[in-house]
Structure 1
């Protein structure tokens, strides 16, 4: 195990994960360069607070999104920052993405809110050089309630502003782009054979931990990690180990909220490794829940250890000093 190589401390193995797999700063090249509190509150007025989350886009995801949209993503779209509204029960109630598109006369800047079922709750147009009618409530309210399976096609399920067909098509791309990107990153497609089911997140939404820095996140990950290790060692506490694996997968998504400590230029490598690590943990949690301790789950756990070692080799210049932790 990697923590045995560098230091016997339990903190070691998860510190490597956190410090070596983080992505770029949250507001780098983003649509919003300061906290958009008033805009967010206008979209989700019942939210008690908003949590900012970045989401890495790999080359494969970018290609998949562009294929479905039929157009290339703008540079700003490739580093999406989602704002998660938190309700009274301290659970997510949707998401907001600030997004822009190219209109006939220039860039159209806007935002889209989705609920937890993947339906549009609000579309807002901010800055633009088109007719003011494309930003009117009369035009924008027709997007409310639409989801990933809707066409967002002017002349079909969207009525264009009179004399502004091209601009109307551009605005319709705002919610469509938000939905396609959200499904590529967070939501699961409903089976075509069961079209009545609403799309659900890959994992049930859980209360989001609030952490101030990488060290605090590392401590949470260490606790979850050793729940799993203890289960393999003692053969007791299966439910706790499964829950811990799911927590690790969730914590992995939070890594990108913090500025990287080293090799920040290797953005694609960080994104790919973070995504692979998260998927491996989710698969491991499912197998552990179904089979408990088995050859398969031991093999999966060993693979997780290999990923950590790969992260160290690829993104660390020297062993991490764990004494301060």
Structure 2
């Protein structure tokens, strides 16, 4: 095991974090049971909050990256051995614990998921936290009773990571998908993923503060939040549900009890960070089988180097990225 490797390191600057690729020593990694040779990581909105805004990080220097996939080099836990291919996403990885933007990482064993059959390490990071969140959203909606043929399913923020994967999974499973995006350039892309209809982002924003409207959607995947969530709740069909997983559109939601009482709708919260391990493993296994997107490697992905990560973080914060961006070590 080599003692030095490349990592994207954060230092605390005067006004914002400073990011640079540099040599890092294995002795500088945090103490934990499993040491991983990282093959791929990915770019998520939360990574941008860390790397550009300095959110969550309490001590420097620090290695960001909330996702990683790679091969076990050393393990103090009997569940994992040298050569095992594994995935680590969420928990405190890349926020309170040095993360995946590094050729090597050391992580707690209870965070580690064995790579399921049906996925490569690269595919697991094309999915990453965003794909996991999309699949968890679909799983929760189907657990709630959603079935194909019940009506259109809306995907908000559809050209982003969560949205792109959700569109693909839902279309593969036979749902009539309506994809909402603010990017006119993404319309053909979303139709290739399986969306039957593409609508503008502003069409699903509650500017009028109306808690009830004409019904439209059997269900919705919502990685946006804010006034978009307000609109979705006001337009769900009787018994419908919205699975909310993000806050790019804001954290405040104003509604009334009317749609919940009059239409029996449900608002489902989606948490990928501390999702229980039994459910986490189940979702990854489904992402390797019946939930595996049809266009995972052909449409959704762009690959970059570690040196290109800072620019990608700035781009995702500005809403410029489409689909998923992965980082090859």
TM-score by length of 2: 0.25
Q: Which structure ranks higher in relative contact order (CA pairs < 8 Å, sequence separation ≥ 6)? A: 1
More helix as a share of residues? 1
Larger radius of gyration: 1
More strand as a share of residues? 2
TM-score by length of 1: 0.25
